[in-house]
Structure formats: structure tokens, C-alpha cells
Amino acid sequence: MAIAVSQGFACRTQLSFNLPFINRVHKSVSFNNDHNSYQTSSARNVKGGNDDCNPHEWKKLCSKELGIRTSRITKPAKTVLNVLRKKGYDVYLVGGCVRDLVLKRTPKDFDILTTAELKEVMRAFPRCEIVGRRFPICHVHVDDAIVEVSSFSTTGRKFGRKSKSPMRKPSGCDECDFIRWQNCMQRDFTINGLMFDPFARIVYDYIGGMEDIQKAKVRCITPANTSFVEDCARILRGVRIAARLGFQFSRETSHFLKELSNSLLRLDKGRIHMEMNYMLAYGSAEASLRLLWKFGLLEILLPIQASYLVSHGFRRRDKRSNMLLSLFASLDKLLAPDRPCHSCLWVSLLAFHEALVEQPRDALVIGAFSIAVHSGGSLSDAVDIAREISQPHDTSFHEISEPIYSYSKDELMAEVIRLGASVKDALRRLTDENFVSQALIQYPQAPQSDMGHKWSNVPSVRRCSKTVKPPSIQSVFISWALSLKVSSIFECIRKGRNRRFVPKRGSEIDYDSLALGRLDEVRDIFGRVVFDTVYPTKLAEQ
């Protein structure tokens, strides 16, 4: 299946293109040399047969013309690609990493597809394991990174199980194109269906992915209702992709996002936690929350936060007036797809905000609290620093109360300790099934979903009875173990009344420690996020 002689990664393009992106795409090399035809509807409608498949719509594009630079591929991924290639196997980068390389974005990770069998991949690397039962893949350990490698043979069996009839090779294409096309047809969205050979420097587009990248659209490869029924986690994946890229959904995809939102209740806790972490821990949390709200998914995943938005009359275009979204906007400024945080950080922000919703606090108390957590719990020093704050705080948040009187040092320390205890109480509520269920009963009018209406027709629910609870998966993915880790973040407040101020060494963020959830790094970022939200720099400059 080799397309071109391998030149390895030693050959790097130094060319730079100043043409608009859409013009560069139109300079692509077509399978049939037809630059004007880019219709993809028939390719998207293929379901187990070849009658509607038109290989003349398939495209191959020069990666240099697209501005893809192999220097942006991580060292672990290059190692795996080169080892497999030297052993005579064809290798491709597939999925979202190709999309991100085309868009000049940093990929979250690099997925590799190869003609080698998984057992052959195992023999090629000393630290490698096969994971997954139904659809196994290889986890190749390179240094401290894990590179996922799948095989054409395994994905072909996966495709065969889903198809009602075997897919036959269309006339006018060779065996290599057919096998690649089959693999692309298994994927979720067209913009994730690109395949990149980094040695031949060719990007294969069999399903209109480049067209949808140009249009900034998230579109299912197969009909959206079929795609989301086959794997309802694609609903969350689509939201995450759209939020991160700032893309819009196609009309059909958007419709079935809302229509099939209830199917998320079937997902297990591990999958929910993974998808929510991808949304909130990689630099696009605010946009993700806005889209979850828009499509009526927030009330299913985070009912307490959905209730909060409803009670404050939130509108999707609201900007700085909402503290919950402002906290996550501040977090997003510090994170990126290749620099994520541990899930305990964003859960701690949810608990902190819920504590303020339950009882608004003086900005000075919040400031001292954020400084104390940031420093590891030195209350005396944190209060001294907070009392010197001269810049104005944001007055648009309902969660910040007006100062009643001037606190003494001891009184301010006591208030900070009370806030720490309140955050821990809020964390317990976030993992309490009864409390979460009541949150949606109280505010059944959350937008874009029939969940509230459906529950309001249950008599025991209308009476706020505890006998019949509406379904909720909030308490599922915020596990008990995770809540204990989050609680430990704030333990320093209770123990820090007489502790000396011990700042973190250096101001640089240790992203490896942050991703692992090491407390000193998590506390540092938590303190930054809260302080910058309550005392934004823009207000200080004004």
C-alpha cells in the first residue's frame, strides 16, 4: 500500500504560504484532476453498498500546499511512525490531529493507523500493550507519553460488524483507496475523517472533510441520527470539537444533538468523566459550557449549574456578567490542548462557585481565600496581603456581596475559614444524588430540552417527593475518589491559621504536575483563576 518512497522526517518544508487558506486548498491534487467538483453528499450517504459511492469525489492534497509542517508532530509520535515505516508498514496520522495540523492548531494527541497487525506492533516496541476488548488498539509507551496505534485489520472488522452488508469496491478506485475510504467512513465527523501520510506528504479526503473545514462546520459522516444512536458519546465529542474550534454544527447534526440528548443517560461514569474532562480541562471550557447550555445538555450533565443559569436569567450571549463562565474563561487562558489540567481543578471551581451561590461573600474574603489557597494555607500572610488590595473588584457578579463593615484581621481569617468549609459542603452536594435531582425539579424550564417537561408530568416529582427522582448522572462522573482529592485542595485553609507563607518556587506553570493533579500546582492555578476573576486586570487598568 505504499504510495511514495519514504524520505523520513529529516526532510522538512521551509516554505511559507501567504495565500488565504481556502485558496491553498483549491490548489490541491484531485484523484480525477477535477478542481471544481467538491460534492460530498453521496459519500456521506454510503451505508453498506457502493451504488452511491463516487470515487471521483475523493481528493488527495499536498500537505506542503496546506502548510502542514511535520515539525509540529510530537517526538513520541514521530518515533512510532518511523519505527513502523522502517519495518515496511504503511503508517498514517488520522482523526482530529490531521484536522488540527491543517488549521495550524496544536493537536491534543496523535493517533496512528497502520497496515501492521497489532501483534506486529507489539513486537516492534518493547513497551507496548493491547487495550480494549471489542475494538482493540495498541498503547505504545515512548518516554512518558502514550501513542495510540490502531490497525487497518482491526478497524476493518469493526466496520464489518456495523455494516448490514459488505462494502464492495467501487469502480474506478484501487484497493488502497478503497481500504482507506472504508476506514474513514467509520469515523464520527467529516473534519475528523482526514488521513495524512507524513512520508508521502499527502492528505487523503474521501468524505468532504476539507470542505467542512472551509465552512467551519461540524457534520456527521453518516446520517446524524444513525451516528448518535450508534455512539451517543459522539454528541459530547461534537460539542467539544465545536467549542474548541469555534465551528457551527450542520443543520441536521444540530437537530439530532437536541433530539437525542437523553441518550447520554446511557453512558457509563468513566465515559462521561472522560468527555467532560476533555471539554473543561483543555482550554475551551467556557465555550463548551455555553454549547452544553444551548443544546439542553447542561441540565443532564451538570444540573446544579443549569439551575443556576436559569435562576439568573442567563442568555447565551452574556459575557462578563456571569461568574461561573468567567471563572472558566480565566482557566482557559492558562490551559491548552497540549497543556491540560487534572479534573480536580475544574471540579474545585464548580464547588467554589456553588458555595458562593449558596452564600455570596465579600470580595475581600474571596480575595484572601484565593491567596491562602494559592500559597498553601498561610492565612495570616494571605489576609495581610488581601487587606492591601487596592484595585477594584468586579461588581457585576451576584455571588459577590457588598461589604457591610471593615473586618479586623481575626474576623477576616475566620471568614476565610468559613468559606473553605462552605466549599467542602458544596462539593458534597455536587456528589449527592438527592440534591442534584432536586436542582432540576426546582428549575424545570432549562432550555432546549424536554427533560424538565417530562419530569413535571410525574406527580411525585411535581410535589418534590424523594420517592421518585428524575434521572441524573451528575453524581456518577464526579466520583467519591475525585471528590476526596478536591477536598484535599482546601484542607490547607483549615490547617493554615498559623502557617508561614511559603510561595511556590517560580511563577512558571509546571504543566506536567498540573496534569497529574499535584496539590501545590493545582492550588497555585486555582488561586490565580479565582483572584483574576474577582479582580480582573482590565478593571485595574481602567
Domains of the chain in start order, with CATH, are 59-156+174-209 (3.30.460.10), 343-443+475-534 (no CATH)
36 pLDDT above the threshold of 90: no
Could you tell me if 70 and 203 are in contact, meaning their C-beta atoms sit under 8 angstroms apart?
Answer: no
Tell me the one-letter amino acid at 418. Answer: R
Alpha carbon of 238 to those of 33, 212, 233, 278, 291: distances in Å? 32, 14, 9, 11, 10
Distance of CA 528 to the CA centre of its chain: 22
pLDDT tens, position by position, 319-331: 667 999 999 999 9
Distance of CA 348 to the CA centre of its chain: 17
Residue with cell 457534520: 219
Tell me the one-letter amino acid at 475. Answer: S
SS3 state of residue 527: helix
pTM over 0.85: no
Residue 464's CB: how many other CB atoms inside 10 A? 10
Q: Among candidates 47, 46, 127, which has minimal Cα distance to 80?
A: 127
pLDDT tens, position by position, 379-415: 989 999 999 998 899 988 999 998 877 889 999 999 9
50 pLDDT above the threshold of 90: no
Catalytic position from the list 90, 100, 177, 188: 188
Could you tell me if 441 and 464 are in contact, meaning their C-beta atoms sit under 8 angstroms apart?
Answer: yes
Give the residue-averaged pLDDT of 429-456.
Answer: 57
Angstrom distance (rounded) from CA 364 to CA 345: 22
Residue 111 annotated among the catalytic residues of the structure: yes
User: How many H helices and E strands in the chain?
Assistant: 29, 13
How confident is residue 56, by pLDDT bands cut at 50, 70 and 90? low
Q: Among candidates 167, 226, 176, which has minimal Cα distance to 200?
A: 176
The more confidently predicted of residues 421 and 27 is: 421
What average pLDDT is seen over the chain?
A: 81
Could you tell me if 267 and 274 are in contact, meaning their C-beta atoms sit under 8 angstroms apart?
Answer: no
Written as nine digits, the cell of 362 is 465579600
Beta strand extents in 213-359 (DSSP E only): 217-218, 248-249
pLDDT above 90: percentage of residues in the chain = 56
Could you tell me if 413 and 380 are in contact, meaning their C-beta atoms sit under 8 angstroms apart?
Answer: yes
213 pLDDT above the threshold of 70: yes
pLDDT for 538 equals 72
The more confidently predicted of residues 68 and 432 is: 68
Query: Cβ contacts of residue 204 below 8 Å, gap of 6+?
Result: 58, 59, 60, 61, 92, 177, 180, 184, 194, 195, 196, 197
Beta bridge partners of 218: 249
SS3 state of residue 220: strand
Give the DSSP letter of residue 273. H
pLDDT for 485 equals 95
Written as nine digits, the cell of 465 is 417527593
Catalytic position from the list 90, 100, 111, 332: 111
Angstrom distance (rounded) from CA 151 to CA 459: 53
pLDDT for 62 equals 93
pLDDT for 268 equals 87
SS3 state of residue 268: coil
Distance of CA 493 to the CA centre of its chain: 31
Give the residue-averaged pLDDT of 437-448.
Answer: 56
Give the residue-averaged pLDDT of 211-226.
Answer: 95
Could you tell me if 290 and 248 are in contact, meaning their C-beta atoms sit under 8 angstroms apart?
Answer: no
Angstrom distance (rounded) from CA 352 to CA 413: 17
Catalytic position from the list 109, 394, 425, 432: 109
Could you tell me if 286 and 255 are in contact, meaning their C-beta atoms sit under 8 angstroms apart?
Answer: no
Query: Cβ contacts of residue 168 below 8 Å, gap of 6+?
Result: 49, 50
Written as nine digits, the cell of 205 is 479526503
Residue 109 annotated among the catalytic residues of the structure: yes
Give the residue-averaged pLDDT of 15-29.
Answer: 38
Angstrom distance (rounded) from CA 492 to CA 127: 39
The more confidently predicted of residues 189 and 431 is: 189
Q: Among candidates 277, 300, 192, 444, which has minimal Cα distance to 292?
A: 300
How confident is residue 46, by pLDDT bands cut at 50, 70 and 90? very low
Give the residue-averaged pLDDT of 251-277.
Answer: 91
Q: Where are the alpha helices (DSSP H) in 16-170?
A: 21-26, 41-44, 75-86, 96-102, 118-124, 152-162
pLDDT for 168 equals 65
472 pLDDT above the threshold of 70: no
Could you tell me if 159 and 183 are in contact, meaning their C-beta atoms sit under 8 angstroms apart?
Answer: yes
Alpha carbon of 277 to those of 114, 235, 269, 270: distances in Å? 28, 15, 12, 11
pLDDT for 269 equals 86
Written as nine digits, the cell of 56 is 471521483
367 pLDDT above the threshold of 90: yes
SS3 state of residue 78: helix
Alpha carbon of 77 to those of 27, 54, 81, 406: distances in Å? 28, 33, 6, 58
